[in-house]
Amino acid sequence: MQKTLTDRELLDSLADEVETNLRRHIEVAEGWQPHEQVPWSDGRNFAFLGGEDWAPEQSELSDTARLALTVSVLVADNLPSYHRELGKHLRTGPWWRWVGRWTAEENRHEIMIRNYLMLTRAVDPVALERARMQHMTDGFNRPPMHLIDVLATCAFEEAAAAIRHRNTAAIGENPIVTAMAEKLAADDELQAEFFAVLVAAALDLVPDQAVRAIADRVADFRVPHVDLPGGGSSDEALAEAGIYDPAKEGELVFKPLLQRWNIFSRTDFSEEGEKTRAELAQYQ
């Protein structure tokens, strides 16, 4: 029977991998600046400061681009909740430094998108602010998880976010939106890689325990979603717009990561691990 490690033991056992991976991440990540990505010359005052309030005809974005950016900024707005949930599990040593780095990267996503939406008057600022207040008031809580479950979930979530942003870029809305979405996707992909490397290390350390966590997280995976200002949920709206469809998660999110972790070619599972692997066979 294979060994099982506690979360405390895993935090200690994987700490060197976290340190190495964090240094690699910082070295390869693009240090882009959010203030450089938005057209400041397009901005003008709203009525409170003597200008003109928002009107629908002022938006030059397509419905699809407006939807995609609204979802992205609302998800990013809830960063304090995600930071809190991640910090519950990783509040020590290099793990905590990674939480800080991840949080800073996510925060610049929100800064850039919100600045763009306000400057270009792409969306109703009042409706967006009301949605932000409600979304953050509702907050976000993960169900109780062990460490490997958290790492696998984050790998899946970041991979899914990268797909959403790559598809937003592919719309070809305008050069600025395309460039912004590509930067978001590149960050997401590097973050997904960080978490994926740690899941791979956990698999080498405790194969059965890790594959069980992966299978459980695949079974109950759901991307972060928001209630939209005009009504409805982001899940259905993004799928209809062709930006992100949960029905394609098996092919686009799970399969690539399961292959990366060599789930279907590993030879270090016990009988219990083999049973768990069979639960994932549909993604082979």
Show the tokens assigned to 7: 């979360």
**Residue range of the domain that includes 101:** 7-30+39-283
Residue 2 lies in a domain: no
> In 3D, which of 238, 257, 28 has the Cα closest to residue 157?
257
Walking along the chain (284 residues) 10 residues at a time, the average pLDDT comes out as 88 96 96 95 95 95 93 88 85 92 94 96 94 85 87 95 97 96 97 97 97 97 82 87 94 97 96 96 94
Residue list for the binding site = 106, 109, 158
Distances 38 to 57, 80, 142, 271, 274 between C-alpha atoms, Å? 20, 24, 33, 55, 51
Contact status, residue 136 vs residue 77, Cβ threshold 8 Å: yes
- Amino acid 25: pLDDT: 97
Residue 81 lies in a domain: yes
- Amino acid 1: pLDDT: 61
Residue 275 lies in a domain: yes
Place of tokens 């870029």: 169
Residue 114 lies in a domain: yes
Global pTM exceeds 0.85: yes
- Amino acid 209: pLDDT: 97
Please give the Cα distance from 152 to 218 (Å, whole number): 9
| CATH, residue 196 | 1.10.620.20
Distances 55 to 122, 123, 254 between C-alpha atoms, Å? 10, 9, 42
- Amino acid 135: pLDDT: 84
* Domain count along the chain: 1
Residue 1 lies in a domain: no
Residue list for the binding site for Fe cation = 106, 109, 158
Place of tokens 């699809």: 64
> In 3D, which of 72, 89, 257, 43 has the Cα closest to residue 171?
72
